[in-house]
Structure 1
Amino acid sequence: MSFLGKKIVVTGCSSGIGAKTCELLKQQGAIVIGVDRNTTSLNVDEFFQADLSDPRSIDALIAALPAGTDGLLNVAGLPPTSGAVSVVRVNLLGLKRLTLGYVDKLADGAAIVNVASLAALGWQDAIPAIKAVDKITNFEDTETFCNKHNIDDARSYFFTKEALVVWTMQNRWTWRNRGIRMNCVSPGPVETPILKDFLETLGERAAEDMKVMDRAGTPEDIAPVIIFLASGDSAWIRGTNIACDGGMFNHVQCAMNDLL
């Protein structure tokens, strides 16, 4: 698996999983184009500062990013402590606006990888809200949407990742004629600077999950999976969500079906 000479855009490049992804890409010979609201020069060849909660900032970013890149890795995201409106804008609306606005500038054969979450495992129960959020074209409508669908701060993170997994599945063949594929990775709890924010907001549920797991994940656990989905080695994987969570998704499935 080599990225020699490949140009890859990574959002959320300044910390956590995004930073580790950039590091591994550089080790594989990639030209890394980083995007974040916080500036960095570490393991990026070019950096663009952007606010993914602001459609004007996203549109300016799309215009500024180079054409002919070989991948868009959507790693950036906010924890639930950021508030429902901000979480929905960044984790879902902003991600989608960037991806759909930039896809025409991607090279044929490029890969799009979205970072979802173990929190998305119950997406089947959120279909009405998932369908409704697709109709939002104005970021200013986010608060009204959240109120209508009972998406509070704690629920916002779960919802955005549920909708992201579904959106990835829906786009399994959207750009197939150009060889562009979209997949996602769903980490479990990961030791990053925002892990404490998740535990603070999710409370008892998160605490119980952590008791079952042997350990929290690390960026070193997640980044290689992202890299694989961005590589030519995964060319026939399309619209797929890969759980990278120490077995937690399967534990929940077994528990729900009395198979432990």
Structure 2
Amino acid sequence: MLNGKVIVVTGAASGIGAQTARELKLQGARVIGVDRNAVVENVDDFYRADLCDPASIDRLVQALPKHIDGLCNIAGLPPTAPATQVLKVNVLGLKKLTLDLIDTNLADGASITHLASLAGIGWPDSVDTIKAFESVDFSTVDAFCQNHGIEGSRSYFFSKEYLVVWTHMNRWTWRERGIRMNCVSPGPVDTPILADFIQTLGERAEEDMRVMDRPASPSDIAPIVAFLQSDGAAWLRGANITADGGMSSMLTLARHGLA
């Protein structure tokens, strides 16, 4: 399905990123891994970069091939990380890398896939804060967090709310070039950071886990990311695919008294 495509995967060292790289290679893609940590498996080339650092992103963009068919933004920090760092990696770094690659490296017809989260389901209640974040950059993110009460686990939830909205908003931004943007929103996934979520969310996480028959595994999510990179997903634009074992359906029904 992906024979001959050159696809960049951030966060390729572990978890969903590593499994996505593996899946893309199985489907015939040339995979370029990006991570703060070294990647030795499932990639054809590796570049070390820190999405917290704009200069590191600039160096990465300059070093990457000048023809890229796809970008999978999988890298992210959990809710136990400092709030400003979460927003830098999960949103600001992701946006900068994406926009810079569109300008210089992404081919016409390229596919961009973000890893969002079920944590972003509450975005309609955060519209004003999402609008305020539009003008935030790496130098002003600290003040934004202080002014809008973005601290603790809220940073992670907000980062995913914003990412879902940003995906929706850019459904047609590069339509003339055939570049499409979509995201995938998993529920709990059995990765090295699952314990961080349970630690941070406490009883809420435990209640959600009781509803599920099991957490997802990276192998449940990676094929969906890979599909969005394929030509078979060409008519998906601005979509948010909820890969959560049905949890988002349950939460939506409960919100409207239908559960």
| Count of aligned positions | 258
Query: Which letter does structure 1 place at the counterpart of 2:238?
Result: G
Q: By how many angstroms is 1:249 displaced?
A: 0.1
The residue type equivalent to 2:93 in the other structure is G
Amino acid at match of 1:255: A
Instruction: Return the TM-score normalized by structure 2.
Output: 0.98
Partner Cα separation in structure 2 for residue 46 and residue 206 of structure 1: 37
The residue that corresponds to 2:171 in the other structure is: 172
Q: How far apart are 1:136 and its partner, in Å?
A: 1.3
Distance 2:206 2:146 in 1: 27
Amino acid of the structure 1 residue aligned with 2:118: L
The within-5 A match list for 1:187-226 is: 187-226=186-225
Question: What is the rounded CA distance, in whole Å, between the counterparts of 1:209 and 1:83 in structure 2?
Answer: 24
- Which consecutive unaligned segments of at least 5 residues does structure 1 have? none
| C-alpha distance in structure 2 between counterparts of 1:254 and 1:125, whole Å | 16
* Matches for 1:74-153 after TM superposition, within 5 Å: 74-104=73-103, 105-137=105-137, 139-153=138-152
Deviations along 1:143-176, one digit per CA (max 9) or x if unpaired, are 1100111011210000000000000000000110
1:206, 1:32 → 2: CA distance? 34
Counterpart Cα distance in 2 of 1:218 and 1:140: 36
Alignment identity in percent? 60
Q: What 5-or-longer segments of structure 2 have no aligned partner?
A: none
Q: Give how far 1:100 is off.
A: 0.5
Task: Give every structure 1 segment of 4 or more consecutive aligned residues whose post-TM-superposition deviation is greater than 4 Å.
Answer: none
Deviations 1:48-87 (Å, cap 9, x if unpaired)? 0000011111111111111111100000000011110110
Q: Do residues 62 (structure 1) and 93 (structure 2) align? A: no
Deviation digits for residues 166-212 of structure 1 (CA, Å, limit 9, x no counterpart): 00000000110011000000000000000000111111111111111
d(CA) in 2 for partners of 1:154, 1:108: 37
Q: In the alignment, residue 223 of structure 2 is paired with which amino acid?
A: P
Distance 2:98 2:159 in 1: 15
Give the match's secondary structure for 1:242.
strand
Task: Tell me how far 1:140 sits from its aligned partner.
Answer: 2.4
Find the counterpart in structure 2 of residue 255 from structure 1.
254
CA RMSD between the two structures: 0.7
Q: Aligned partners of 2:59, 2:15: CA distance in 1, in Å?
A: 25
Q: Secondary structure at the match of 2:184?
A: strand
CA shift at 1:132, angstroms?
1.1
